[in-house]
Amino acid sequence: MNDNELKAVLRKINANIRITKVVATRSVKGKGGDTYAGFSAAWNSVQDDTGGGIEGLLDGAESQGGMTIKEARVAHLMVAMQADISAHDAALAGGNVTNNYHREAVRAIKANYTRMIREILSGPTKPTEE
């Protein structure tokens, strides 16, 4: 396969790929140990790990679509931000970080994720150009 053929295949896959799930886990290291938070979000799809169990798959249901890569990147950042904030909330609740550290960390987390989401949404649509 030459380079042009490879690029054509990659463009076709990129145009047709749909992502149905994003996952984010975080940990915060503190004086009392590590605190963890994790989130998993499914997008309009039939999966055995979204709470429906195998019964939902037996009736012939099929996936209802999915997210484009750009949408999945934004969705992942949204879920990751919640995991980051939740890990810091748990660390604060457990006494592993100070109020001031928590407040500054959450402020920075929100600012950074907002900036990154805006960059993705206002940037080029082709991943090779991003």
Domain ranges of the chain: 14-129
pLDDT at 114: 95
pLDDT at 130: 41
Q: Dihedral of CA 56/57/62/68: which sign?
A: positive
Q: DSSP 3-state helix, strand, coil percentages of the chain (rounded to 5)?
A: 55, 15, 30
Q: Count the neighbouring beta carbons within 10 Å of the beta carbon of residue 40.
A: 13
Task: Provide long-range contacts, Cβ within 8 A and 24+ apart, for 121-127.
Answer: 121/70, 121/74, 125/70, 126/14, 127/14, 127/69
pLDDT at 74: 92
Listed as ranges, residues in the chain with pLDDT below 70 are 45-64, 124-130
For residues 9 and 52, give the distance between their C-alpha atoms in angstroms, rounded to a whole number. 35
pTM reported for the whole predicted model: 0.69
